[in-house]
Structure 1
């Protein structure tokens, strides 16, 4: 009799929760479906998601136009199995026993869609790698 493993939970964190962490969460949700729990947050959330990020994701069929930046909470970190930081440095809380990945990525803030596309593609590549590491098959795209 096989036991069903609990869904892994992943938290994406950047400073403003308006670009990189939103893209990471969007790709993980899109590719992992309900097989993974996804959160994103920022240490100093922006007013809204970067419009160039929204446009770049729309080009690959992912709609995040309704997303809003969220404040990073201690609870979000504590309830996540994997925490992926994207340029928030020392402002990201660290808890023992959590798996941390620091993805060094260019900040899409103030960039146009042409500049955001390579960041988007790199985040998608890394998310696919993370899903493979977690043993989660991706939804067929």
Structure 2
């Protein structure tokens, strides 16, 4: 299939598919006219690459994992498992950081709501704008 067909069937842009080739993640055969041609199996390969990107892996890391996908062996499997464990640990740290950020945002929102509710109870108007303190009383 041609690159446009692969793009349509995978939902990935033609530009991304070309990038995958540049990075050595995806291969194609050139037609006599120079057009890229892909196999049916490349649909699943692109889906795998997309899943790895969605998990936060870089092109370099995906390239390190592909030998295990292409031809699993005891050696490539162990190397891939080690690499995936490192990436999983990195993701766990990132998730923990995001949870802390969300908790801080929740606390800030609760404070602003409490300030707003107190001001409303006292008959004051509360304004809040980006770059200013959380609650500014205005007459």
Same fold at TM > 0.5? no
Between structures 1 and 2, the one with greater strand share:
1
**Which fold has the larger relative contact order, with Cα–Cα distance below 8 Å and residues 6 or more apart in sequence?**
1
Between structures 1 and 2, the one with greater helix share:
2
Give the TM-score normalised by the residue count of structure 1: 0.27
Q: Tell which structure's C-alpha radius of gyration is larger.
A: 2
